[in-house]
Amino acid sequence: MAKIKFKINNKIIEAEKGKTILEAAKENGIYVPSLCNHTDLDIKPNCRVCGVEIRGQKKLLTACSTKIEKDMEVFTNTPRVKKARKTNLELIFSQHKEECSDCVWEPNCELLSLAEKNKVTINRFEDRKTNYPVYSFNDVIEFDSSKCIDCRNCVEVCKNQGVGYLEVQKRGHEMKIVPTKKKNIDCIYCGQCIMHCPAGAFESKGEFEAIECALKQKGKTTVVQFAPSIRTSIGEEFCMDYGEVVTEKLIAALRKLGFDYVLDTSTGADFTTTEESEEIVKHIKEKKGLPLLTSCCPSWVRYVEFNYPEYISHLTTARSPQEMLGGIVKTYWAKKKGIDPKDIYMVSIMPCTAKKYEIDRSELKVSGMPSVDCVLTTRELARLLKKKKIDFAKLKPAKLDNLIGEPTGAGVIYGATGGVMESAFRTTYEKLTGKKLKKVDFEQVRGMEGIREAEVTACGNCHKIAVVNGLGNAKKLFDYFRRHPEKNDYTCIEVMACPGGCIGGGGQPLPMDENIRLARANGLYKIDKNTKIRRAHENPIVKKIYKEFFEKDKKARHEILHTTYHKQKRGKVKILK
Amino acid sequence: MKNIIKQIRDSELRGRGGASFSTAKKWQIFLDAKADPIKSDPPRAGKKYIVVNASEGDPQMSKDGYLLKNHLEDVVNGLKISLKFFKGSEAFFYLRKDYYEKHKSRIIRLTKNLPVKIFKKPGEYLAGEETSILEAIEGRRPEPRHKPPYPCACGLFNKPTLVNNVETLYAVSRISQGKYKNERLYCLSGDLKNKGVFELKDGLTIKEILEQTKNLPKNNDYFIQMGGVLGEFLLPKEIDRPLLGLASVVVYDKKITNPILLAQKILKFSMYQNCDKCTPCREGVFRLREEFLKNERNKKILNDIFQVLEDTTLCPLGMLAGNSINSLLTKIINGKD
């Protein structure tokens, strides 16, 4: 692409033609403030905070939407620009009820940092939204509309997710973002609204109030598990690099918090892979129920149950990793340890808001107990660590507890889009052919494109597989199948609701964009590459527990490792305030 | 027919929607715009669209209605000329709700055999803005689009789109028949004797308009608003200026007009009619109105908001509203003392 020269604040800048002023400035280390701009979303440009002066232009133009031109002269800090920026920020603050201590953006709030940089009088105007309601979407996601600054990022991302649960109502100062009343649309709790709202108006249930409940379980044995993707994301909360691998520090941190036992959900993922592969092999041999759809992602499962009930029977019945591990802990592990399962409090650290919903599904109980008692998101764990003044970056590495110890590399890549499929086919291939895979890397299913496809040849048969990330892409694919059922000749389809898979989940640290997701995913693949055992079914723990427990007790295996699905009714919207 | 653009250019016709852009230039850009065949959208490959805008939403304007009632044949003729000239184009006749109800059947009759669809405006004031119209026809909330791209290059369904005011097409029809004599329709209202729509020459000053319609007040106890509900306010000494914006002139009798109430009315209109997309307009107008509802107005707040409205709004609505109130404030409200 041709580069062009232009000036920002009298400094000559070179950037690719077609870039916006904001992009070119960022690349060249020049800071231009922006709020509604997010690289995942369209340029709107609503907030008007990025207005800059351009020689020859009468009005200020928004840097996020104006493309660079040769010899253009841009000024980002003239008195006129500063004055407009300050006033617009003050107007934005007049809509936004500040609750900074209880905010998902704390301490990285761009709004607040802009206020400080521009000497904004936050309360220059009286908050006009003080009495706006706080909604609860089926007790999973909360939306405090008195914090909303009307940028509409949430509406857009919800639509991009193929959901469209959030709507713009009315006009002018009466405009509101509201959950839709349409009966055929429901929230699937992916939490992408949280990840794309610059004003912290969204959070998951209990995000601030309930984080300590896990530590207050008197007389109980507390067991914690952490999801694959946390190990390359939580470091960001403690000023470490994007995608930095911090598994052992994470284990140390969890011990320091006082958990009695620390386990790895990736080991649970190895069980999921083992069960799921068996299902795939069975379905291939019986030539029915194809394509098999992955079911680790609770948002995706709910999406199918609500929007595509004709595919319910295609979802693998294998439980998600956290549920399998929770179930094993409350049965096999409890027995081994001599602990009454009723005295075990199982906590999951998840990158995900929908996992909070998953643990309440009654189909996932084991002996009448929920397999997992409490879910904390990555953000919540980070907040808890900060509250307890645990200096994460300085912690000495620690190891997992033995009994259900180290995962394989296959279990770790579950956290990135394509990881479940790659893991499943490392195992499935060997089960189908009886031969060992020479190369375990399935490069075709890696990456960040919305829909990726690959073909696996085993025993002379070619199996088409597809990997989808971002529910909007799943909607495209399954709507296409509705119109052209004959085109659905896939053996297996993995769907993750969030962009990039769990590394881009709704419970992850903020900010988040494509580059950050890529860094987090690369961290996971790096772990996989450096792990000795990279096939789930070869995990000695998996082998041992099957031998000692599941192969002897088929009923327990079914109860602990499998689940059922059914058509879902629309969740309830409550107004909390 | 070949020379219609030349004829329009020679007539110096400017768009009658209010922005007064050269019609010949606009038609030339539209003519030159490539209708890209987009593979993903086969039914619309290579299409170009024409939109007839008969949806005036400014409470001071009634000339679209006047034309539909009295000169619909000419308007349709102008549309026919453009459809013929821009080969393969299709048109949308975009009508304000009440105009739609009133004139629908006549329009259907007159556009029989033409590729014309009639579309009822789904909103109010802002839904008549050219890019909001495109959003409305595409089935979304009628809100302004970010420009560029301009509709002539990339408009309805991402195809080149020519949005013309009904009056522009009326003029095109008259030009093609050699009848056009640089006329324009003016709407006069307020505290005066001869209200209504008048056909006079384009480019007149306010004074000339008032004189020619026999409306020029005898004394100086009045002030003027020109260019529509969000237009600038003028003092009697300023009426030698040419009219800008919409062709509307409103005369206010100073003795019976409360300018504060007038400002409140204009601000209420802008507050309810803005699309809410951009901060200065949505929030700024709200806060301006707040100031005008108080006994004491905070000068600093007013000036700060006037600046962001002037400098940073997405579409002209906020800018116009700010300028209008600013002129009312400086000339009439503050000037009074």
CA dihedral A190, A196, A201, A203 (to 10 degrees): 30
Confirm or reject CATH 3.10.20.740 for domain A3-93, answering yes or no. yes
Please tell me the distance in Å from A421's CA to the nearest CA on chain B. Answer: 30
B-proximal residues of A, 97-126, CB under 8 Å: 124-125
| Pairing between β-strand A461-469 and β-strand A492-496 as defined by DSSP bridges | parallel
Comparing alpha-carbon positions, the chain A residue that sits nearest to B272 is: A172
Which pair of tokens denotes residue A430? Answer: 């060997």
Contact B276 A171 (CB under 8 A): yes
- Chain A hits for B277, CB-CB cut-off 8 Å, are 44, 46, 152
Locate the DSSP E strands across A189-276: 202-204, 221-226, 261-264
Q: How many CB pairs under 8 A join A and B?
A: 97
Query: Residue B323 and residue B8: Cα distance in Å, rounded?
Result: 32
Determine contact: A49 vs chain B, CB below 8 A: yes
Residue of B270, B282, B289, B293 to mutate, testing the A interface (most A Cβ within 10 Å of its Cβ):
B282
Which pair of tokens denotes residue A282? Answer: 């069975």
**Beta bridge partners of residue A225, listed in sequence order:** A263, A348
* B234 and B172, same domain (yes or no): no
Determine contact: A45 vs chain B, CB below 8 A: yes
Q: Is B258 helix (H, G, I), strand (E, B) or coil?
A: coil
Q: Are B97 and B54 in contact, with CB atoms under 8 Å apart?
A: no
- Chain B hits for A173, CB-CB cut-off 8 Å, are 271, 276, 282-283, 285-286
Q: Is A350 helix (H, G, I), strand (E, B) or coil?
A: strand
Q: What are the residues whose beta carbons fall under 8 Å from the beta carbon of B193, sequence distance 6 or more? A: B214, B215
Please tell me the distance in Å from A32's CA to the nearest CA on chain B. Answer: 15
pLDDT at B262 over 60: yes
Determine contact: A318 vs chain B, CB below 8 A: no
Once rounded to an integer, what is the mean pLDDT over residues B83-99? 95
pLDDT above 70 coverage of chain B, percent: 97
Instruction: Please report which confidence band the pLDDT of residue A408 belongs to, taking 50, 70 and 90 as the band edges.
Output: very high
The residue extents of the domains of chain A are 3-93, 100-204, 213-561
Residue of B267, B285, B293, B308 to mutate, testing the A interface (most A Cβ within 10 Å of its Cβ):
B308
DSSP assignment of A308-341 = -GGGGGGB--BPPHHHHHHHHIIIIIHHHHT--G
Q: Is A69 helix (H, G, I), strand (E, B) or coil?
A: coil
Query: Residue A438 and residue A416: Cα distance in Å, rounded?
Result: 23
* B93 and B187, same domain (yes or no): no
The enclosing domain of B313 has a CATH number of 1.20.1440.230
Q: Is B71 helix (H, G, I), strand (E, B) or coil?
A: coil
* B169 and B211, same domain (yes or no): no
Angle among Cα A36, A40, A45 to the nearest 5 degrees reads 30
Once rounded to an integer, what is the mean pLDDT over residues B192-202? 96
Parent domain of B93: 4-176
Contact A87 B307 (CB under 8 A): yes
Residue type at position A7: K
CA dihedral A26, A30, A34, A38 (to 10 degrees): 10
Name the residue with tokens 């990135």. Answer: A416
A-proximal residues of B, 210-249, CB under 8 Å: none
- Chain B hits for A124, CB-CB cut-off 8 Å, are 301
Of A88, A172, A173, the CB nearest to B312: A88
Which secondary-structure segment (H or E) carries A82? helix A79-93
Residue type at position B55: S
* B314 and B192, same domain (yes or no): no
| First and final C-alpha spacing in chain A | 53
Q: What is the pLDDT of residues B305-337, one digit of tens each?
A: 999 999 999 888 899 999 999 999 999 999 854
Q: Which phi and psi angles does A326 have, rounded to 5°?
A: -60, -45
CA dihedral B126, B130, B135, B139 (to 10 degrees): 80
* B196 and B297, same domain (yes or no): no
Of A46, A80, A173, the CB nearest to B311: A80
Residue A199 CB neighbour total at 10 angstroms: 27
Q: Which of B168, B165, B143 is nearest to B55 (CA)?
A: B165
* B206 and B317, same domain (yes or no): no
* B121 and B61, same domain (yes or no): yes
pLDDT of residue B337: 43
Q: What is the pLDDT of residues B155-179, one digit of tens each?
A: 999 999 999 999 999 999 999 999 9
Query: Residue A69 and residue A214: Cα distance in Å, rounded?
Result: 56
- Chain B hits for A120, CB-CB cut-off 8 Å, are none
* B240 and B296, same domain (yes or no): no
Once rounded to an integer, what is the mean pLDDT over residues A5-12? 96
Determine contact: B280 vs chain A, CB below 8 A: yes
Contact A65 B271 (CB under 8 A): no
pLDDT of residue A550: 96
Q: Which phi and psi angles does A375 have, rounded to 5°?
A: -115, 130
Residue of A43, A57, A171 to mutate, testing the B interface (most B Cβ within 10 Å of its Cβ):
A171
Please tell me the distance in Å from A79's CA to the nearest CA on chain B. Answer: 12
Which pair of tokens denotes residue A275? Answer: 């069960």
Last residue of a domain, one of B141, B176, B211: B176
In terms of C-beta density within 10 A (0-12 exposed, 13-18 middle, 19 or more buried), how is residue A563 classed?
A: buried
Determine contact: A153 vs chain B, CB below 8 A: no
Instruction: Please report which confidence band the pLDDT of residue B42 belongs to, taking 50, 70 and 90 as the band edges.
Output: low
Q: What is the pLDDT of residues A185-237, one digit of tens each?
A: 999 999 999 999 999 999 999 998 888 988 899 899 999 999 999 999 999 99
Q: Are A171 and B277 in contact, with CB atoms under 8 Å apart?
A: no
Query: Residue B134 and residue B136: Cα distance in Å, rounded?
Result: 5
Judged by average pLDDT, the poorest of A220-234, A302-316, B273-287 is B273-287
Q: Is A225 helix (H, G, I), strand (E, B) or coil?
A: strand
CA dihedral A2, A8, A12, A14 (to 10 degrees): -20
Which pair of tokens denotes residue A272? Answer: 């999921």
Please tell me the distance in Å from B143's CA to the nearest CA on chain A. Answer: 10
- Order across the sheet with B183-190: list the strands: B196-201, B183-190, B248-253, B222-226, B232-234
* B269 and B287, same domain (yes or no): yes
- Chain A hits for B308, CB-CB cut-off 8 Å, are 48, 84, 87-88, 91
Residue type at position A421: M
Last residue of a domain, one of B150, B176, B202: B176
pLDDT at A490 over 70: yes
**CATH number, domain A213-561:** 3.40.50.1780
Determine contact: A95 vs chain B, CB below 8 A: yes
CA dihedral A350, A353, A355, A356 (to 10 degrees): 110
Residue A424 CB neighbour total at 10 angstroms: 29
- Chain B hits for A125, CB-CB cut-off 8 Å, are 287, 290
pLDDT at B38 over 80: no
Once rounded to an integer, what is the mean pLDDT over residues A120-147? 96
Last residue of a domain, one of B209, B238, B253: B253
pLDDT at A171 over 90: no
Please tell me the distance in Å from A310's CA to the nearest CA on chain B. Answer: 28
Same fold, A3-93 and A100-204: no
Cα–Cα distances in Å, from B37 out to B40, B113, B126? Answer: 9, 25, 31
Q: Are B159 and B42 in contact, with CB atoms under 8 Å apart?
A: no
The enclosing domain of B170 has a CATH number of 3.40.50.11540
Name the residue with tokens 């639509």. Answer: A159
* CB environment B122-146: b (16+ within 10 A), e (fewer): bbbbbbbbbbbbbbbbeeebbbbbb
Query: Residue A254 and residue A247: Cα distance in Å, rounded?
Result: 11
Is 0.80 surpassed by the pTM of this model?
Answer: yes
Please tell me the distance in Å from A128's CA to the nearest CA on chain B. Answer: 10
Determine contact: A577 vs chain B, CB below 8 A: no
Contact A84 B141 (CB under 8 A): no
Query: Residue A64 and residue A105: Cα distance in Å, rounded?
Result: 22
* CB environment A288-307: b (16+ within 10 A), e (fewer): ebbbbbbbbbbbbbbbbbbb
Instruction: Please report which confidence band the pLDDT of residue B274 belongs to, taking 50, 70 and 90 as the band edges.
Output: confident
Residue A559 CB neighbour total at 10 angstroms: 15
Query: Residue B308 and residue A154: Cα distance in Å, rounded?
Result: 25
Q: Are B274 and B285 in contact, with CB atoms under 8 Å apart?
A: yes
pLDDT of residue B146: 84
Q: Which of B153, B140, B90, B160 is nearest to B275 (CA)?
A: B140
Angle among Cα B323, B325, B330 to the nearest 5 degrees reads 95
* B265 and B300, same domain (yes or no): yes
Comparing alpha-carbon positions, the chain A residue that sits nearest to B312 is: A60
Instruction: Please report which confidence band the pLDDT of residue B2 belongs to, taking 50, 70 and 90 as the band edges.
Output: low
* B193 and B105, same domain (yes or no): no
Which pair of tokens denotes residue A284? Answer: 């291939």
- Of the CATH numbers 3.40.190.10, 3.40.640.10, 3.30.70.20, 3.40.50.150, which one belongs to the domain with range A100-204? 3.30.70.20
The enclosing domain of B237 has a CATH number of 3.10.20.600
Of B287, B307, B312, the CB nearest to A125: B287
Once rounded to an integer, what is the mean pLDDT over residues B201-211? 96
Determine contact: B322 vs chain A, CB below 8 A: no
Q: How many domains does chain B have?
A: 3
Once rounded to an integer, what is the mean pLDDT over residues B127-131? 93
Contact B305 A174 (CB under 8 A): no
Of B274, B278, B286, the CB nearest to A48: B278
Instruction: Please report which confidence band the pLDDT of residue A359 belongs to, taking 50, 70 and 90 as the band edges.
Output: very high
* B307 and B195, same domain (yes or no): no
Residue of A91, A151, A476, A480 to mutate, testing the B interface (most B Cβ within 10 Å of its Cβ):
A91
Comparing alpha-carbon positions, the chain A residue that sits nearest to B284 is: A91
**Beta bridge partners of residue A61, listed in sequence order:** A52
Query: Residue B19 and residue A304: Cα distance in Å, rounded?
Result: 50
Query: Residue A345 and residue A225: Cα distance in Å, rounded?
Result: 11
Give the HSE-up count for residue A82: Cα atoms under 13 Å, Cβ half-sphere: 8
- Chain A hits for B307, CB-CB cut-off 8 Å, are 80, 83-84, 87
Residue B165 CB neighbour total at 10 angstroms: 26
In terms of C-beta density within 10 A (0-12 exposed, 13-18 middle, 19 or more buried), how is residue B104 classed?
A: middle
Instruction: Please report which confidence band the pLDDT of residue A460 belongs to, taking 50, 70 and 90 as the band edges.
Output: confident
Comparing alpha-carbon positions, the chain A residue that sits nearest to B289 is: A173
Determine contact: B305 vs chain A, CB below 8 A: yes
